[in-house]
Amino acid sequence: MSDSPKNPNRRLAWKVAPDLFTSFRYASDGLWYTFLSQRNFRIHVAVGVFVLALAVWLHLSATNLAVLVLLIALMLGLELVNTAIESVVDLSIGKTYHELAKIAKDCAAAAVLVNGLSAVAIGCLIILPPLFATVGQLLRP
């Protein structure tokens, strides 16, 4: 997906989606763009898949699994918002430097960081006790 005005897929980007299917297609375009262009998003997806696989292997309760799914979704959602903010800032200032643009980008990145740290802490509280118990059982003679 190019930002070029000559890209026929973007010629109607300013219009409201005419139907629900088109809205979902636009959303999937944003998801796919972020997955392809943002290394951190791909890392978060991989970690999320690993955490969910570990949670299923540990037979975590539905409530704990739901909390982990919510944390992963929040992390990915914030990465998407961060990408959107960075794109809008880049669009508005071009290739020039502006201190307010730096602040906007840094704050968006900080939001991702704060959420990531809390997600790791909560994930550890949920996963580590059953993981240690399971590993302990596997290591007993």
Q: What is the pLDDT of residue 73?
A: 98
Q: What is the pLDDT of residue 10?
A: 58
The conformation of residue 2, written as its DSSP 8-state character, comes to -
**140: DSSP letter:** -
- Domains observed in the chain: 1-37 (no CATH), 40-139 (1.10.287.3610)
Rounded to the nearest 5°, which phi and psi values hold at 15?
-85, 155
In this structure, the dihedral spanned by the alpha carbons of residues 53, 56, 61 and 63, taken in order and rounded to 10 degrees, is: 30
Q: Report pLDDT digits (tens) over 3-33.
A: 444 555 556 566 777 888 888 999 999 999 9
Give the model confidence (pLDDT) of 73-105 as tens digits: 999 999 999 999 999 999 999 889 999 999 999
108-141 confidence digits (pLDDT tens): 999 999 999 999 999 999 999 999 999 999 898 7
Conformation bin of residue 94: beta by default, left when phi > 0, alpha when psi is -120 to 50: left
Each residue's pLDDT tens digit, 29-80: 999 999 999 999 999 999 999 999 999 999 999 999 999 999 999 999 999 9
Predicted pLDDT at 17 = 76
d(C-alpha 115, C-alpha 75), whole Å: 7
Distance (Å, whole) CA 87 – CA 16:
20
What integer pLDDT is reported at residue 55 of this predicted model? 97
For position 11, what pLDDT does the model report? 60
pTM recorded for the entire structure: 0.83
The question of whether 86 is a catalytic residue gets the answer no
Strand boundaries in the chain, DSSP class E: none
Q: Which is the catalytic residue, given 44, 55, 78, 79?
A: 79
Query: Which of the four pLDDT bands, split at 50, 70 and 90, describes residue 1?
Result: very low
